[in-house]
């Protein structure tokens, strides 16, 4: 899922040329990504506010038809079509955030390849020459850069590549962003702790400000927590550069939640959508006067629009039944198919000579 590294890596490398510090580049890159995704986040906020209006109705349908999944899906689809909302419309920003996150993980694991531009073959050969385990792809490139900065000069690398690794500034407040905190009591442990704390604040704040607080279903709630905890595990096992990105992303998410809340207040839009929903329901129940034929005479009747639609459908079915009364509407049985094939006239085959005579 880290395929976006082919795009994010060169962009981060370009940014590193302007800001020659790996950690600061990671923070600035995070802010820029969040700014680019802000329009989608605003759209997601609006979609979430609208979705919260229909959540009670969705839960009612799910409870009513819990033993009939087909009918449940049919009623949910009817609800979507009738009131024009799409439960998947808010998923795009979330999907993009996850894809960018996995892309950043790929870049953090392989900074020599994506930021410094060293080929995979040269990296693998250099690691073999220095005795660095090549089966640990997540830490191999960081160890190579650290070894070169410590004075190693593998023959597989050019002088320019060695110089780029030696000058690669990966320190942040005196700590190396290529290191891994693990679960040991080291100064690097502060980064996964910050990532964990900001994740909890970001998730809780976003859930509350989006208008979906308390309405998310149990399975969805568990899934969201599991996914966030998965990234926390990455923070303890991946280079702390990822922790820095994740922490900066969570802080940006908190600020973004307050901003989108100001632009699209869930309470305000929920009230508007509820009024719109009530108006549509009232229009659906509104009565109309129509002329119907009874005993050969036209009489006026007052019916609801729902009853009118049902009557129209019933009348259309009657007309179709009368029109196609003499036609068969059921498929042929195997025996009927064989009998029909046997009774069909055989096609006359014409030889070349017969065709010429004809």
Q: Taking all residues of the chain, what is their mean pLDDT, rounded to a whole number?
A: 80
pLDDT band for 247, please (50, 70, 90 cuts).
very high
87-91, 100-104, 204-208, 309-313: range with lowest mean pLDDT: 87-91
Tokens at 8, concatenated: 């994010």
* Placement of tokens 């220095």 in the chain: 130
* Placement of tokens 């729902």 in the chain: 306
pLDDT over threshold 90, residue 148: yes
What pLDDT score does 129 carry?
Answer: 93
DSSP 265-333: -HHHHHHHHHHHHHHHHHHHH-EEEEEEEETTEEEEEEEEHHHHHHHHHHHHHHHHHHHTTTS--SPPP
Segment 278-300 mean pLDDT: 69
Bridge partners (DSSP) of residue 291 are 300
* Placement of tokens 């979705």 in the chain: 51
What pLDDT score does 284 carry?
Answer: 64
Among 256-260, 269-273, 336-340, the range of highest mean pLDDT: 256-260
Give the C-alpha separation, 88 to 50, whole Å.
12
Among 77-81, 242-246, 281-285, the range of highest mean pLDDT: 242-246
- pTM greater than 0.75 (yes/no): no
62-76, 242-256, 322-336: range with lowest mean pLDDT: 322-336
328 compared with 214, residue with greater pLDDT: 328
What pLDDT score does 43 carry?
Answer: 79
pLDDT band for 118, please (50, 70, 90 cuts).
very high
Segment 234-239 mean pLDDT: 84
What pLDDT score does 124 carry?
Answer: 92
- Within 10 A of 180 (CB to CB), how many other CB atoms are there? 22
Give the C-alpha separation, 105 to 237, whole Å.
11
What pLDDT score does 159 carry?
Answer: 94
């Amino acid at each position: 899922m880290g395929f976006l590294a082919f795009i994010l890596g060169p962009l981060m490398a370009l940014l590193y040329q302007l800001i020659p510090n790996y950690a600061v580049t990671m923070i600035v890159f995070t802010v820029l990504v969040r700014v680019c995704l802000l329009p989608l986040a605003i759209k997601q906020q609006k979609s979430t506010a609208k979705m919260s209006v229909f959540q009670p109705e969705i839960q009612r349908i799910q409870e009513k038809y819990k033993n009939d999944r087909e009918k449940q899906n049919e009623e949910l689809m009817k609800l979507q079509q009738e009131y024009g909302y799409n439960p998947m419309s808010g998923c795009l920003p979330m999907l993009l955030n996850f894809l960018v996150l996995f892309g950043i993980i790929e870049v953090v694991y392989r900074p020599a390849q994506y930021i410094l531009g060293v080929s995979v073959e040269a990296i693998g050969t250099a690691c073999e020459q220095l005795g660095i385990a090549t089966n640990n792809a997540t830490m191999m490139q960081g160890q190579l850069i650290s070894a070169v900065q410590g004075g190693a000069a593998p023959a597989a690398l050019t002088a320019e590549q060695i110089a780029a690794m030696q000058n690669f500034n990966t320190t942040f407040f005196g700590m190396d962003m290529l290191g891994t905190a693990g679960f040991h009591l080291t100064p690097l442990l502060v980064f996964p702790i910050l990532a964990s704390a900001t994740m909890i604040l970001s998730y809780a704040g976003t859930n509350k400000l989006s208008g979906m607080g308390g309405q998310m279903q149990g399975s969805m709630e568990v899934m969201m927590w599991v996914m966030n905890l998965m990234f926390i595990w990455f923070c303890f096992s991946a280079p702390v550069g990822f922790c820095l990105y994740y922490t900066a992303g969570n802080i940006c998410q908190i600020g973004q939640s307050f901003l989108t809340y100001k632009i699209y207040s869930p309470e305000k839009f929920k009230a508007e959508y509820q009024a719109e929903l009530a108006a549509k329901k009232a229009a659906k129940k509104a009565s109309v006067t129509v002329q119907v034929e009874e005993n050969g005479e036209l009489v006026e009747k007052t019916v609801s629009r729902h009853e009118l639609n049902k009557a129209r459908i019933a009348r259309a079915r009657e007309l179709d039944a009368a029109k196609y009364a003499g036609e068969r509407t059921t498929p042929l049985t195997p025996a009927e198919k064989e009998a029909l094939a046997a009774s069909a006239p055989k096609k006359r085959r014409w030889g070349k000579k017969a065709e010429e005579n004809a």
